[in-house]
Amino acid sequence: MITSIQDEINQIDAIRPHLVILGAGASLAALPDGDKNGKKLPLMSNFIEVLNLGNLLIEHGIKFCGDNFEDLYSEIYSDPKKKDICEELENRIYDYFSSLQLPEEPTIYDYLILSLREKDVIATFNWDPFLVQAIRRNRIKVKPPRVLFLHGNVSTGYCYRDKVVGIRGNLCSVCNKLLEKSKLLYPISQKNYDKDFFISKQWSEVKVHIKNTFMVTIFGYSAPNSDISAIEIMKTAWGEIEERAFEQIEIIDIKEENSILESWGQFIHTHHYDIYNDFFDSWIANHPRRTGEAFRNQYIEAMFIDDNSPPKATHLTDLQKWYKDLIEGERAHN
C-alpha cells in the first residue's frame, strides 16, 4: 500500500509529541557563515577564541589546555577566589549571544518551527536567541511548538517570586516587574538543576515529554561525558530500551556513526535509529508537520510513503506559503 503526499497532508491524527533536542551544532548548521552581521557561532571547542576571552583569562592567571569551555568554567567555579571572573564571563557571554540576529533569508530554524506542530517540543541546550527570533517571525502563520531552554537562554526571563517564565524584556504577569534574565553558566560536572527555579522547571517538563514522545530528533548535541546530570535525567525519563521498542531515535550530526552510537546507544532499541549529516534529509524536513503520521504509516502500517519536502526558499514569505496546505488541513480538522 502507498500513502501519497496528499494522503499525508490530509491525515492529522498523531497525538504524541515529536521531541527535538538541539545542541550548538544545530546553530552552526543553520548559520555556517555567521549571523546577520557575520558574527560566528561558537562550539565549546572554539568558544574562547570566538568570544575573544583569552586576554580575560590571562589577566586572571588562568591557563587551560583542554578543548571544552564548560570544563574550564567548572574548574574556575570550584575556586572561591575566582568569583569575579565567573561574573565577568557570564556578562561577556550574555552580551555576545544577545547581539546575534537571524539573517533575513530563511534558515534551518525557520524550517524547524514551520515543520513542527503545537503538540511537538524543542528542548535546546543553546544560549543563542535564534529559536525565539524564528518563532516571532513565523508566529503569524503557525502556532509554534513548545520550546524548553535546558541551560538557560539570552531571550528568556523569569520572576523568582511569582515563578513566571517569559521573554526577557517583558513584565511579570503577576507582579508587573521586569523579568530577570536567566542564568547561563553552571559548573557542568556538578550541575544541580533543582537549585535554579527556571532550569528546574524546564527539566521537569522535558522529562514528561521524553516519556511520551514517539520520536526523538537529536540535532547537533554531542552529549558530552562531563554533562553527567543532563544525560542521567534524559536516560531515567526515557527508561529501559526494551520498553521503547516502537520509538525511533533520529540523529543529525556530522560525526562518524560509531562516535554517535557511543554517545546515544543507551537510548536506541536495536535498529530503531536514523543518522543524517544534513537537516534536510531528516524526518522533519521530509514529512513536515506530519512526522507522527508518516512514522506510523511506514513502521506500523508497513506502507510505502512519499516525501513531502519544502523547497529551498530564498524568501521567508515564499517558504511560509508552501506550508499553507498543511496548516489549513490542520485548521479544518480542528
* Beta-carbon count within 10 A of 1 CB: 8
Residues of the chain with CATH 3.40.50: 2-32+104-151+186-333
DSSP H helical ranges for 116-241: 130-138, 197-212, 228-238
Give, for 276, the enclosing helix (H) or strand (E).
strand 273-276
Answer yes or no: pTM beyond 0.85.
yes
pLDDT tens, per residue, the chain with 334 residues:
888 999 999 999 999 999 999 999 999 999 999 999 999 999 888 898 999 998 888 888 887 766 678 778 877 887 777 778 888 998 999 999 999 999 999 999 999 999 999 999 999 999 999 999 999 999 888 899 999 999 889 998 888 888 888 888 899 999 999 998 888 876 666 556 667 778 888 889 999 999 999 999 999 997 666 566 777 788 888 988 888 888 889 999 998 989 888 888 888 888 889 999 999 999 999 999 999 999 999 988 999 999 999 999 999 999 999 999 999 989 888 7
The number of C-alpha atoms within 13 Å of 53 and in the hemisphere containing its C-beta is 26
SS3 label, residue 321: helix
Q: State the CB neighbour count (10 A cutoff) for residue 133.
A: 20
Query: What's the rounded Cα separation, in Å, for the pair 150 and 148?
Result: 6
CATH 3.40.50 is held by the domain 2-32+104-151+186-333:
yes
